[in-house]
Every structure is written in structure tokens, then in C-alpha cells.
Amino acid sequence: MDLNWLSIVEAHRGLKEKKFSSEDLLNACLAQVKKGKYLNNFITVVEESARARAREVDAKLARGEEIGILEGIPAGIKDLFATKGVRTTAASRMLENFVPPYDSTAAGRLKEAGYVLFGKTNLDEFACGASTEHSYFGPSLNPWNKACVAGGSSGGSASAVAAGQSFFALGTDTGGSIRQPASLCGCVGLKVTYGRVSRFGVIAMASSWDTIGPLTRTVEDAAYVMNCIAGHDPYDSTTPEVAVPDYTVHLSEGVKGLRIGVPKEYFGEGVDEEVRQIVMAAIKEYEKMGATVKEVSLPMTKYGVAVYYVTMPTELSTNLARFDGIRFGHKPEGKEGVEDLTEYYKTSRGEGFGQEIKRRVMVGTFVSSAGYADAYYKQAQRARTLIIKDFKQAFEEVDVLMAPVSPTPAFKVGEKTDNPLAMYLGDALSIPPSAAGVPALSLPCGFTKGGLPVGLQIIGPQWSESLILQAAAAYEQATEWHKMRPEL
Amino acid sequence: MKLTKEQVEKIAQLARLKLTDEELERYAGQLTDILTYVEVIKELDTTGVPETSQVTGLMNVTRKDEARGGGKLVPSGASSSYVQGPLPDELLECSPLEKVDHQIRIKRIM
């Protein structure tokens, strides 16, 4: 049996029935990581502490004690989450040697639930990018075609889950960073309602956009991870005290009567013809299952990328101001002329940050600077209000929206690295839900003729994660896409 | 919006980034492309539209002004249980610079 390919639910059942141990599960993951080393999905692997943790769970099982659903389940999480005692780099030279003295809330909750942390997954530096090519540690590759990118920024997380290296992963999604790599690699990725999962201890990118969510191989697994990580946190004042439901209870209730909206702007110019057809076929499947489908319009869609690439860099440049090479960060060595503090800051940051970070920090510094802030930053914030209005109006008529996640399947490594704007335009369909703070999920819904996965994006109103998961589960149960495995 | 190499140099100074000549040249072109693209938002009529800076609907979230960490037991954020917060020296260890008497030694300011 290929233990590493089990779902969380199957692995949990096997542990309880003593068919295998937590250490067996860990060994299966580590072997798969080794086999797929060329994918470059892990920045750090912590075998020793993981093995110790797995053995604790096995001892508990041997004593006949009960275990929770995530207990003894090995996983890697994005290297943006502070993990106590485990190096956390944000895929940046700036934090190459940073070992946090505390846990992020999300990682802390998983730890309390007994998961086995065995590695930190690769990402674009500080979560800025759509391909992981901006990682200081090199790009993660797509398990379906190693000439292609894994997507980003949670590319290592998505590729690791899709390649059977990790039972699940955590990612972060600011403008598409969970959904897009999930779509490109062929796994489930949930971007939650802004504020549903605590951001405490997760290195901030754009604070009013950042969200945290699971990447899994099945919808049910995503629901179980959500049960663990969702909810108010006194350490994150942007987590409202909205009750956390059991996300698994409605998964088998189907979609009869579900009102699906198909936003016409998400199928227009720039969307690959094959992607369009595959996604439309998936929506047809929903009609067969008893849902109703109608076309809707989100006229602000075309402004999403511009709104994002003004407001996000502004928040990013503010957040990254804390990386000064003093409290933490990169220390320039043996540099002549680094005499005073300003020169030290500039050298630390000039050397510590990669190209994409410097580019975005400068865009953010410019559009929020005196004389330009009203035309760029404030105008973008007003436009964001109009994007929110688009979604509010659409959700008066329909329960969920369905569309592609990414206008194209995975692209070739190197294809867009010299053209940042081309890379940004790939976020056009994932940014608007982020702007509105609403939840959205990427669900595997087919493959191109070239053998690359395509994801269906299911978008719902704020706090509708249960409904989105229910809709996703219905399609998953009716199709076989989630059973496809890449050959490493 | 076309940016010159000199303007990029000024932005880099504001952002505390030391850039090479080659970087300044390249960013002048790339930043110009990006700014030209995002200017599409200028065509929108946003008269009377409020600015969105956050989407939670929460207002004035406050807490008691009391010290956290310092080795005291603090809520873990994860549940009702408590964990030991980081000690001051553990936080200082995050710095790449020399520590003297529980302080970080930095370059001269003036």
C-alpha cells in the first residue's frame, strides 16, 4: 500500500485500526520527498523531531488511547509560518537563518491537534509571486511536468500535496497564492474569508488581504484541517468572533437547488480555450446534479489586477520595513563603507531582498508617497469598494460563483521571469475575491491535452466556507480527478 | 507615468534599498510598465465612494494594556491552554548583531 497517498481520513482510520503506525506514515512521506527531490518543494526537513513526535503518537495508540483526526498525520507547512525552534525563512536571504522563538497560531493549533510537522515548504520570497521562481532557494516544479512551474506563492505546499509528499499543507493566499498553485498542481486549495483563520505569527505580506488556508488531496480533508485552524484568536484583532461550524457535516448533502452564477468576465479575453472548456464542462456537471446555472456580471473584474498591484505593494513595503538587519534579518559581511546606520539598513535590505521584493517595495513606496497617494493608493482603495459591491450584488442572485482559478494551466519555468507585468496578469481571476475578502476554493476538474491539471474556482459570500466545501464535495464524489496521481 | 533612473534612485533611498546601477536602469523600465498599467483605475468615477482599508467590519478592537511574553504564561492563541511566551533574551537571539548586556550593538546613527 502506498501510505503516502492516503487521505487524512484514511490514514486516521488505519492508525486507529493499527494497520500501520504514524512513523510508517512519516517514512512514506520522507521517501516520497526523496524520490521527488528535484521538485524542490521543501526548504527545510526536520526528520528527527518529526520522528520523535510520530513515536509519541504511536505510544499513545499502543496504550489504547483515543487520537484526534490530525494526530500522527505528517505534514509540511509553508515556510512563512513561524514554527518554534524550526527555521522559518520566507524563502528569503533576509531570513535565511531565522529560528522563531514562538509558534504562529495556525501552526500552534495543528501542534495541539497532534500533527507531525516534518518540513517547511517552498514559496515565492515573502509570498510575492505566482510561480515560486522568486524563492531564494530556487523554484518548485510541477509534479505533472517538471518543465513547468508549481505556481505560487504556495507552490511548494501545492506540489508537495499533489506529489504525495505531504498529507496536507498550509498555505497563505493574498491574491491567489493558495488557489493558483492548487489549480496548477491539481489539489484542493481553500482561501478562507478574510479573518477566518488567525494570521498571528505568519510573516505579513499585505495585511488587509492576507489569509491562511489548507491544501489537501480531498475536500473532506480540507474541512478537517479547517475545523482545527479556524476561529477567533486574541492575538489577531482582525479575527471576528464568528462561530466555527463543523465543516464536515454538510459534505454529503449534494447541490440540488444550488444557484450557481457564472461571471462572464471570467471567461473572456486572455483565458485559455482549453481551460474555458474544461471549467464549463465541470459547471455542466453541476447542472446534471440538480444545481441551476445563470450568467452574472462582475463588471469591476478588469480593474482587479490594478487595484491589487497598488494597494498590496503599499502594505508590503510597510510590513517589510521591519526587516532592517538589526532585530532580525540579513547582516552584510565585510562591507567597506557601511559606516552609519542608514547605510547599514540599505546594504542589509539591498542584499537581503530578491528582485521581486525590491520591485514591489519600490512600487509601494512610490504609490503611497506624498503627491501620488491620492491618484494611486486612495483611488485603488475606492475601486476596491466597488469590487466588493460587485460581489454583494451577485450574491443577491446566486449562492456561489464558478469560474477558472487561473487563465492558463501551468506555464514553463522561466517563461515570465523577465516580464513581471505578464506574471501579474495571471492573477486576474483570483484577485477580485481577495479584494472582497470572500472565500474561494480551487477544485481539480480536469486536465489539458498536454496533461496539466485545471482547477475550478468556487467563490461564496463571506463566512460561506461550509457551503463551498459542500459544493466541492458533490463534484468530487461524482468525478475521478482527485484520484489522478503524477508519476515522479 | 514614466520614471527616470534618478526618480528610482530617490524611491530606493526612501525605501532604504541599496541598488546597483544595473538595477536602477532595469527598475526604471519595469516600474514604468507597472505604473502605466495600474493607471487604468484613473478612468473610474469614484466620486463619493469611500475607501476600503479592511473588510472585517470590526471597529476599535482593544485589549488590556498589559505586557505579554517575558516568560510569563500567556494564552497560546490556539485554545484555552497556556504556553510560555518568549523570553527577552530569546527575542534578542533573533538579531544577527552582537549583543552586549542584553542590548543589540548597532552602527553609529550620526
Same domain, A191 and A93: yes
Q: What is the pLDDT of residue B77?
A: 54
A86 and A29: one domain? yes
Asked if B34 reaches chain A (Cβ–Cβ under 8 Å), the answer is: yes
Distance from the B24 Cα atom to the nearest Cα atom in chain A, whole angstroms: 10
CA-nearest residue to A389 within chain B is B49
Tell me what pLDDT residue B22 has: 95
Same domain membership, residue A42 and residue A106:
yes
Query: How deeply is A97 buried, as exposed, middle or buried, from its count of CB atoms within 10 A (0-12, 13-18, 19+)?
Result: middle
A252 classed as catalytic: no
Number of domains in chain A: 2
Answer yes or no: do A229 and A337 share one domain. Answer: no
For residue B52, is it within any domain? Answer: no
Q: Which of A462, A356, A449, A345 is nearest to A400 (CA)?
A: A462
Element (H, E) at A148: strand A145-149
Domain count, chain B: 2
At residue B76, the pLDDT reads: 55
| A388, part of any domain | no
| CATH number of the domain bearing residue A129 | 3.90.1300.10
Q: Which of A344, A379, A414 is the last residue of a domain?
A: A379
Q: Is B53 part of a structural domain of the chain?
A: no
- Domain membership of residue A373 as a residue range: 304-379
B77: containing domain: 73-102
Judge if A145 and A192 occupy the same domain: yes
Q: Is residue B50 part of a domain?
A: no
Q: In this structure, is residue A291 part of a structural domain?
A: no
Q: Is residue A79 located within the same domain as residue A183?
A: yes
Query: Do both A145 and A238 map to the same domain?
Result: yes
Say if the Cβ atoms of B27 and A420 lie within 8 Å.
no
- For residue A285, the model assigns a pLDDT of 98
Q: Is A327 exposed, middle or buried (0-12, 13-18, 19+ CB in 10 A)?
A: middle
Which pLDDT value is given to residue B85?
Answer: 73
Burial of A172 (0-12, 13-18, 19+ CB in 10 A): buried
A22 catalytic per annotation: no
**Catalytic annotation present for A288:** no
pLDDT given for residue A252 in this prediction: 97
CB contact, 8 Å: B107 with chain A? yes
DSSP A86: B
Q: Give a yes or no: residue B23 inside a domain.
A: yes
Whether B55 sits inside 8 A of A208 (CB atoms) is yes
List, as ranges, residues 74-93 from B with C-beta within 8 Å of A.
75-79, 81, 83, 85-87, 90-91, 93
Asked if residue B66 belongs to a domain, the reply is: no
Local confidence pLDDT in tens for the 110 residues of chain B: 899 999 999 999 999 999 999 999 999 999 999 999 999 999 999 999 999 999 998 999 988 877 665 555 555 555 545 566 788 889 999 999 999 999 999 888 87
In this prediction, residue B74 carries a pLDDT of 57
Q: Do A349 and B17 touch (CB under 8 A)?
A: yes
Q: Are residues A123 and A227 in the same domain?
A: yes
Our CA-based measurement puts residue B101 at a distance from the nearest CA of chain A, in whole angstroms, of 15
Asked whether residue B96 is domain-assigned, the answer is yes
Answer yes or no: is A92 within a domain.
yes
Q: Identify all chain B residues contacting A424, using CB atoms and an 8 Å cutoff.
A: 34, 37
Q: Is residue A385 part of a domain?
A: no
Stretches in chain A below the pLDDT threshold 70 = 1, 335-337
A139 and A174 share a domain? yes
A328-346 burial: b if 16+ Cβ within 10 Å, else e: bbbbbeeeeebeeeebbbb
> Are A339 and A417 in the same domain?
no
CB burial class (10 A; 0-12, 13-18, 19+) of residue A145? Answer: middle
**pLDDT for B108:** 82
Instruction: Determine the pLDDT at residue B41.
Output: 97
Q: Which of A102, A338, A381 sits opposite B53 (nearest CB)?
A: A381
The percentage of residues in chain A with a pLDDT greater than 90, rounded to a whole number, is 95
pLDDT at A13: 98
The per-residue b/e assignment along A198-220, b for 16 or more CB within 10 angstroms, e otherwise, is bbbbbbbbbbbbbbbbbbbbbbb
Last residue of a domain, one of A346, A379, A412: A379
> Are residue A176 and residue A310 in the same domain, yes or no?
no
Catalytic residue selected from A153, A198, A348, A430: A153
- Nearest CB to B15: which of A237, A326, A365? A365
Query: Contact at 8 Å (CB) between A171 and A151?
Result: no
Q: Of the residues A345, A379, A413, which one is the last residue of a structural domain?
A: A379
* pLDDT computed for residue A247 by the predictor: 98
Give the per-residue pLDDT at A11.
Answer: 98
User: Looking at A7, A131, A140, A177, which residue is catalytic?
Assistant: A177
Looking at the structure, tell me whether residues A358 and A466 fall in a common domain. Answer: no
Find the closest chain A residue to B92 by CA distance: A327
Residue B21 counted as domain residue:
yes
Decide if B62 is inside a domain: no
pTM reported for the whole predicted model: 0.96
Residue B39's CATH number: 1.10.20
Residue A480 Cα, gap to closest chain B Cα (Å): 36
Confidence (pLDDT) at B86: 81
Which of A112, A358, A359 is the closest to B79 by Cβ? Answer: A112
- CB contacts < 8 A, A to B, total 205
Q: The dihedral of CA A201, A205, A210, A214: what is its sign? A: negative
Identify whether the C-beta of residue A90 lies closer than 8 Å to the C-beta of residue A210: no
Cβ separation B107–A338 shorter than 8 A: yes
Alpha carbons A432 and A423: distance in angstroms, whole number: 16
Asked whether residue A294 is assigned to any structural domain, the reply reads no
User: Which residues of A are less than 8 Å from B35 in CB distance?
Assistant: 363, 366-367, 376
Residue A350 lies in a domain: yes
Residue A360: strand, helix, or coil: helix
Cell triple for A198? 488567525
Per-residue pLDDT at B1: 81
- Mutation for A interface: B19, B24, B41, B91, most A CBs within 10 A: B41
Starting at the edge strand found earlier in the chain, the sheet holding A74-78 runs A42-45, A116-121, A74-78, A168-173, A211-216, A188-191, A440-447, A453-459, A400-404, A259-263, A292-296
CA distance to partner chain B, nearest, from residue A413 (Å): 20
Q: Which of A21, A22, A78, A368 is catalytic?
A: A78
Chain center to CA of A376: 28
Grid coordinates representing A361?
517595495
